[in-house]
Amino acid sequence: MLPLLLASSSPYRRALLERLHLPFSCASPDIDESAHANETPEALCRRLAISKAQALADSHPQHLIIGSDQVAVLNGRVLGKPHTAANACRQLADCSGQTVQFLTSLCLLNSASGNYQCDVVPFSVQFRQLNQAEIERYVALEQPLDCAGSFKVEGLGISLFASTHGEDQNSLIGLPLIALCRMLREAGWQIP
C-alpha cells in the first residue's frame, strides 16, 4: 500500500484523519485559492481539493495524497475565513436565522499513477436567530478566525444552530470521513 499524505496544514483535518488510526504524514500545499471568474462554489471547492493534492505529487511520489477544501455559501455568496473578530461578527450576523451550505471537497490522488477520486460533500446549517451580544461573546470565546462561516462546530459553535442536515458531520469540520473511508478502501486500505 502507498503511504498516506494529508495535503493540509489544518489542525482540524489532521485531528479528523487521526480518528481513523491510519499512519499518515502532512505537508502544506502552496496554491492560489482565489476563485476563477464565473466559477461556481462547487467547482471552486472541487478544483482546490484536486490542486492541493496535485501540488504535492512531484515531491511525494508513490503516495496517496488527500486534498480537501471547504466553501461556505450564504444566498449564493461564498463566505471566506474571517481572519479578524470584526469580520467574524459580521459573518455571524449575516448568517443569523439563515441556512448556510457548506461544500467540502475531497480528493484522493495516487501520485504514482496520477489517478484520483474526487467528491464534494454538502452539509447545511440552519442558524438560529442570534443577537449581537451572543455573537460577540461567541467570537471572543472561540476565536473562529480561521474557519469558513466563523464557527467551530466541534466546540461552542453548535450553540449557534437551530439544526443541521447532511450525510457526514465530519465534512462540516473539514474532512468528510465517510467518503474518505470509501475512497481508501477502493485504493486497497483496510478500514477498520
Interatomic CA distance for residues 111 and 185, integer angstroms: 17
**69 is annotated as an active-site residue:** yes
Q: Which three cell numbers stand for residue 80?
A: 471566506
Q: Which of 58, 69, 94, 168 is catalytic?
A: 69
Give, as one character, the DSSP assignment of residue 150.
S
Residue 20, exposed/middle/buried by CB under 10 A (0-12, 13-18, 19+)? middle
Interatomic CA distance for residues 180 and 154, integer angstroms: 19
Non-local CB neighbours of 94 within 8 Å, separated by 6+ positions: 74, 79
Q: Which residues are catalytically annotated? A: 69
